[in-house]
Amino acid sequence: MDHDVLTGDCLRILAEQPAASVDLAFADPPFNIGYEYDLYDDRRAREDYLEWTERWLAAVKRVLKPTGSFFVAIGDEYAAEHKVRLDALGFTMRNWIVWHYTFGVNCKKKFNRSHAHIFYYVADPNRFTFNPEPVRVPSARMTTYADRRANPVGKLPDDTWVLRPQESDAHFQTDADTWYVPRVCGTFKERGEHPCQMPEAVLERIIQVASNPGDLVLDPFAGSGTTLAAAKKLGRRCLGIELSEEYADGVRRRLQRIEFGEPARPVRRKPAVARAR
Protein backbone atom coordinates (compact mmCIF):
# COMPACT_ATOMS: atom_id res chain seq x y z
CA MET A 1 0.00 0.00 0.00
CA ASP A 2 1.70 3.18 -1.28
CA HIS A 3 -1.28 5.44 -1.99
CA ASP A 4 -4.62 4.17 -0.76
CA VAL A 5 -8.04 5.57 0.11
CA LEU A 6 -10.23 3.40 2.32
CA THR A 7 -13.96 4.03 2.50
CA GLY A 8 -15.82 3.83 5.79
CA ASP A 9 -15.89 5.05 9.38
CA CYS A 10 -12.46 6.26 10.47
CA LEU A 11 -12.75 4.65 13.92
CA ARG A 12 -13.32 1.21 12.45
CA ILE A 13 -10.64 1.54 9.79
CA LEU A 14 -8.04 3.01 12.15
CA ALA A 15 -8.63 0.08 14.52
CA GLU A 16 -7.69 -2.25 11.65
CA GLN A 17 -4.36 -0.53 10.92
CA PRO A 18 -1.04 -1.65 12.44
CA ALA A 19 -0.02 0.15 15.60
CA ALA A 20 2.91 2.60 15.39
CA SER A 21 2.93 2.55 11.57
CA VAL A 22 2.31 6.22 10.63
CA ASP A 23 5.05 8.86 10.43
CA LEU A 24 2.83 11.92 10.01
CA ALA A 25 -0.90 12.43 10.50
CA PHE A 26 -2.85 15.45 9.33
CA ALA A 27 -6.52 15.82 10.27
CA ASP A 28 -9.02 18.44 9.17
CA PRO A 29 -12.09 17.02 10.95
CA PRO A 30 -15.66 18.28 10.69
CA PHE A 31 -16.01 21.46 12.76
CA ASN A 32 -19.58 20.66 13.91
CA ILE A 33 -20.89 23.97 12.60
CA GLY A 34 -23.39 22.74 10.03
CA TYR A 35 -21.40 22.16 6.83
CA GLU A 36 -23.36 20.22 4.23
CA TYR A 37 -21.40 17.01 3.68
CA ASP A 38 -22.42 14.05 1.52
CA LEU A 39 -23.10 11.61 4.39
CA TYR A 40 -21.76 13.03 7.65
CA ASP A 41 -24.09 15.02 9.94
CA ASP A 42 -22.21 18.16 11.00
CA ARG A 43 -24.82 19.16 13.58
CA ARG A 44 -24.11 16.76 16.42
CA ALA A 45 -24.90 17.46 20.05
CA ARG A 46 -21.88 19.01 21.77
CA GLU A 47 -21.17 16.11 24.13
CA ASP A 48 -21.61 13.57 21.32
CA TYR A 49 -19.18 15.48 19.11
CA LEU A 50 -16.56 15.78 21.84
CA GLU A 51 -16.85 12.12 22.82
CA TRP A 52 -16.33 11.18 19.16
CA THR A 53 -13.37 13.61 19.01
CA GLU A 54 -11.70 11.87 21.96
CA ARG A 55 -12.12 8.50 20.25
CA TRP A 56 -10.67 9.44 16.88
CA LEU A 57 -7.76 11.36 18.43
CA ALA A 58 -6.89 8.29 20.51
CA ALA A 59 -7.22 6.09 17.42
CA VAL A 60 -4.71 8.25 15.54
CA LYS A 61 -2.31 8.13 18.48
CA ARG A 62 -2.37 4.30 18.41
CA VAL A 63 -1.24 4.15 14.78
CA LEU A 64 1.30 6.99 15.08
CA LYS A 65 4.95 6.02 15.49
CA PRO A 66 6.74 7.07 18.70
CA THR A 67 8.67 9.51 16.48
CA GLY A 68 5.55 10.71 14.66
CA SER A 69 3.98 14.15 14.27
CA PHE A 70 0.30 15.09 14.30
CA PHE A 71 -1.29 18.24 12.82
CA VAL A 72 -4.94 19.10 13.49
CA ALA A 73 -6.82 21.91 11.73
CA ILE A 74 -9.88 23.16 13.61
CA GLY A 75 -12.11 26.23 13.94
CA ASP A 76 -12.77 28.50 16.90
CA GLU A 77 -15.78 26.64 18.29
CA TYR A 78 -13.85 23.56 19.43
CA ALA A 79 -10.18 24.57 19.21
CA ALA A 80 -9.67 24.68 22.98
CA GLU A 81 -11.45 21.35 23.45
CA HIS A 82 -9.20 19.67 20.89
CA LYS A 83 -6.08 21.03 22.56
CA VAL A 84 -7.17 19.79 25.99
CA ARG A 85 -7.74 16.31 24.58
CA LEU A 86 -4.47 16.22 22.66
CA ASP A 87 -2.61 17.23 25.83
CA ALA A 88 -4.45 14.56 27.85
CA LEU A 89 -3.37 11.89 25.36
CA GLY A 90 0.26 12.66 26.11
CA PHE A 91 1.14 14.55 22.93
CA THR A 92 3.51 17.53 23.15
CA MET A 93 2.56 20.73 21.36
CA ARG A 94 5.24 22.32 19.21
CA ASN A 95 3.15 25.15 17.75
CA TRP A 96 -0.33 26.62 17.84
CA ILE A 97 -0.43 27.98 14.29
CA VAL A 98 -2.92 30.68 13.36
CA TRP A 99 -3.83 30.53 9.68
CA HIS A 100 -5.08 33.97 8.59
CA TYR A 101 -6.93 34.29 5.30
CA THR A 102 -9.07 37.01 3.73
CA PHE A 103 -11.77 34.93 2.05
CA GLY A 104 -13.43 34.62 5.43
CA VAL A 105 -17.02 34.38 6.62
CA ASN A 106 -18.94 37.65 6.31
CA CYS A 107 -20.66 38.37 9.63
CA LYS A 108 -23.26 41.02 10.51
CA LYS A 109 -23.09 41.24 14.31
CA LYS A 110 -19.50 40.28 15.10
CA PHE A 111 -16.04 40.69 13.57
CA ASN A 112 -15.62 38.71 10.35
CA ARG A 113 -13.91 35.39 10.79
CA SER A 114 -10.68 35.20 8.80
CA HIS A 115 -8.62 32.51 10.51
CA ALA A 116 -8.41 28.87 11.52
CA HIS A 117 -6.13 26.98 13.90
CA ILE A 118 -3.57 24.30 13.11
CA PHE A 119 -2.18 22.44 16.11
CA TYR A 120 1.25 20.90 15.64
CA TYR A 121 1.96 18.06 18.09
CA VAL A 122 4.56 15.32 18.39
CA ALA A 123 4.42 11.99 20.17
CA ASP A 124 7.87 12.43 21.74
CA PRO A 125 9.40 15.90 22.23
CA ASN A 126 12.88 14.41 22.04
CA ARG A 127 12.44 12.32 18.88
CA PHE A 128 10.60 13.69 15.86
CA THR A 129 11.24 14.75 12.28
CA PHE A 130 11.63 18.43 11.55
CA ASN A 131 13.24 19.51 8.27
CA PRO A 132 13.76 23.30 8.37
CA GLU A 133 15.46 23.71 4.99
CA PRO A 134 12.31 23.71 2.79
CA VAL A 135 10.76 26.66 4.64
CA ARG A 136 13.66 28.85 5.75
CA VAL A 137 13.30 32.54 4.86
CA PRO A 138 15.64 35.54 5.08
CA SER A 139 15.27 37.35 8.37
CA ALA A 140 14.65 41.06 8.81
CA ARG A 141 18.30 41.33 9.82
CA MET A 142 19.14 40.29 6.24
CA THR A 143 16.42 41.98 4.18
CA THR A 144 15.95 45.25 6.03
CA TYR A 145 18.85 46.02 8.34
CA ALA A 146 21.84 44.47 6.53
CA ASP A 147 22.95 43.14 9.91
CA ARG A 148 26.12 41.06 9.64
CA ARG A 149 24.94 38.98 12.60
CA ALA A 150 22.12 37.53 10.49
CA ASN A 151 22.19 33.79 10.02
CA PRO A 152 23.23 33.32 6.37
CA VAL A 153 20.87 30.36 5.89
CA GLY A 154 17.85 32.36 7.06
CA LYS A 155 15.24 31.72 9.75
CA LEU A 156 12.11 29.68 10.19
CA PRO A 157 8.82 31.46 9.44
CA ASP A 158 6.59 32.67 12.25
CA ASP A 159 3.65 30.63 13.53
CA THR A 160 1.08 32.98 11.99
CA TRP A 161 0.52 32.17 8.33
CA VAL A 162 -0.89 35.15 6.42
CA LEU A 163 -2.80 34.09 3.33
CA ARG A 164 -3.74 37.05 1.12
CA PRO A 165 -4.40 36.00 -2.48
CA GLN A 166 -5.51 39.51 -3.46
CA GLU A 167 -1.89 40.60 -2.98
CA SER A 168 -0.09 37.69 -4.62
CA ASP A 169 -0.74 34.32 -6.19
CA ALA A 170 2.62 32.99 -5.02
CA HIS A 171 2.79 30.36 -2.30
CA PHE A 172 5.21 30.20 0.63
CA GLN A 173 7.66 32.63 -0.89
CA THR A 174 11.30 32.03 -0.14
CA ASP A 175 12.00 35.67 0.63
CA ALA A 176 9.02 36.41 2.88
CA ASP A 177 8.52 35.68 6.56
CA THR A 178 4.78 35.23 6.25
CA TRP A 179 3.38 32.43 4.11
CA TYR A 180 1.11 33.52 1.27
CA VAL A 181 -1.43 31.00 -0.01
CA PRO A 182 -5.17 31.40 -0.64
CA ARG A 183 -7.91 29.48 1.07
CA VAL A 184 -9.49 27.32 -1.64
CA CYS A 185 -12.62 29.16 -2.74
CA GLY A 186 -15.36 28.20 -5.17
CA THR A 187 -13.80 29.92 -8.19
CA PHE A 188 -10.28 28.51 -7.74
CA LYS A 189 -8.97 25.95 -10.26
CA GLU A 190 -7.78 23.75 -7.40
CA ARG A 191 -11.33 23.43 -6.10
CA GLY A 192 -12.95 19.98 -6.20
CA GLU A 193 -16.41 18.74 -5.24
CA HIS A 194 -15.82 18.58 -1.49
CA PRO A 195 -17.32 21.52 0.48
CA CYS A 196 -14.21 21.97 2.68
CA GLN A 197 -10.85 21.86 0.96
CA MET A 198 -7.39 22.72 2.26
CA PRO A 199 -4.89 24.38 -0.11
CA GLU A 200 -2.18 22.04 -1.38
CA ALA A 201 0.50 24.56 -0.49
CA VAL A 202 -0.32 24.28 3.23
CA LEU A 203 0.00 20.50 3.14
CA GLU A 204 3.13 20.59 1.01
CA ARG A 205 4.92 22.64 3.66
CA ILE A 206 3.67 20.52 6.56
CA ILE A 207 4.67 17.29 4.81
CA GLN A 208 8.10 18.61 3.81
CA VAL A 209 8.84 19.79 7.33
CA ALA A 210 7.48 16.86 9.37
CA SER A 211 8.25 13.80 7.23
CA ASN A 212 10.84 12.33 4.88
CA PRO A 213 10.54 10.72 1.43
CA GLY A 214 9.10 7.22 1.76
CA ASP A 215 7.35 7.97 5.08
CA LEU A 216 3.68 7.12 5.57
CA VAL A 217 1.29 10.09 5.80
CA LEU A 218 -2.23 9.54 7.19
CA ASP A 219 -5.36 11.64 6.74
CA PRO A 220 -8.35 10.16 8.64
CA PHE A 221 -10.73 12.63 6.95
CA ALA A 222 -9.50 12.51 3.36
CA GLY A 223 -12.23 14.80 1.98
CA SER A 224 -11.01 16.18 -1.32
CA GLY A 225 -7.66 14.36 -1.03
CA THR A 226 -5.37 17.36 -0.64
CA THR A 227 -3.16 15.67 1.97
CA LEU A 228 -2.74 12.57 -0.17
CA ALA A 229 -2.11 14.58 -3.34
CA ALA A 230 0.62 16.62 -1.67
CA ALA A 231 2.15 13.50 -0.11
CA LYS A 232 2.32 11.67 -3.44
CA LYS A 233 3.90 14.67 -5.17
CA LEU A 234 6.54 14.79 -2.46
CA GLY A 235 7.43 11.10 -2.64
CA ARG A 236 5.65 9.96 0.52
CA ARG A 237 3.34 6.99 0.91
CA CYS A 238 -0.15 7.95 2.00
CA LEU A 239 -3.31 6.50 3.48
CA GLY A 240 -6.62 8.32 3.47
CA ILE A 241 -9.91 7.39 5.12
CA GLU A 242 -13.19 8.80 3.82
CA LEU A 243 -16.74 8.08 4.94
CA SER A 244 -18.29 8.95 1.57
CA GLU A 245 -17.73 6.65 -1.38
CA GLU A 246 -18.39 9.56 -3.73
CA TYR A 247 -15.69 11.71 -2.13
CA ALA A 248 -13.32 8.72 -1.95
CA ASP A 249 -13.73 8.09 -5.68
CA GLY A 250 -12.90 11.74 -6.30
CA VAL A 251 -9.71 11.38 -4.28
CA ARG A 252 -8.71 8.27 -6.23
CA ARG A 253 -9.19 10.10 -9.53
CA ARG A 254 -7.14 13.00 -8.21
CA LEU A 255 -4.29 10.69 -7.21
CA GLN A 256 -4.33 8.95 -10.58
CA ARG A 257 -3.45 12.26 -12.22
CA ILE A 258 -0.32 12.69 -10.07
CA GLU A 259 3.08 11.15 -10.66
CA PHE A 260 4.81 9.88 -7.54
CA GLY A 261 7.50 12.34 -6.51
CA GLU A 262 6.58 14.97 -9.12
CA PRO A 263 7.95 18.43 -8.31
CA ALA A 264 5.95 20.57 -5.92
CA ARG A 265 4.45 23.81 -7.21
CA PRO A 266 6.99 26.41 -8.38
CA VAL A 267 7.77 29.27 -6.04
CA ARG A 268 7.63 32.87 -7.24
CA ARG A 269 9.55 35.53 -5.40
CA LYS A 270 8.20 38.87 -4.26
CA PRO A 271 10.22 41.99 -5.02
CA ALA A 272 13.03 42.43 -2.55
CA VAL A 273 12.35 44.60 0.49
CA ALA A 274 14.20 47.90 0.36
CA ARG A 275 16.97 48.19 2.89
CA ALA A 276 16.68 50.75 5.67
CA ARG A 277 18.65 53.90 5.06
Q: What is the dihedral of CA 162, 123, 78, 200, to 10 degrees?
A: 40
CA angle at 36 for the pair 35 and 37, rounded to the nearest 5°: 105
How far is Cα 6 from Cα 185, in angstroms, rounded to an integer?
A: 26
Give the model's confidence band at 269: pLDDT under 50 very low, under 70 low, under 90 confident, else very high. Answer: very low
Instruction: Write down the CATH number for the domain with range 3-256.
Output: 3.40.50.150
Q: What is the dihedral of CA 225, 185, 179, 167, to 10 degrees?
A: 150
| Closest among 55, 56, 70, 57 to 22, alpha carbons compared | 70
Rg (CA), the chain: 19
How far is Cα 92 from Cα 70, in angstroms, rounded to an integer?
A: 10
Choose the weakest-confidence range: 22-26, 35-39, 50-54, 193-197.
193-197
Beta-ladder partners of 3 = 238
Give residue limits of the domains in the chain: 3-256
How far is Cα 231 from Cα 211, in angstroms, rounded to an integer?
A: 10
Chain segment 91-143, per-residue pLDDT in tens: 999 999 988 876 666 778 888 877 889 999 999 999 999 999 988 877 777 77
How far is Cα 244 from Cα 122, in angstroms, rounded to an integer?
A: 29
Share the mean pLDDT of the chain.
83
SS3 helix, strand, coil % of the chain, rounded to 5? Answer: 25, 25, 50
Q: Is the pTM of this model over 0.85?
A: no
For residues 60-81, give the mean pLDDT. 96
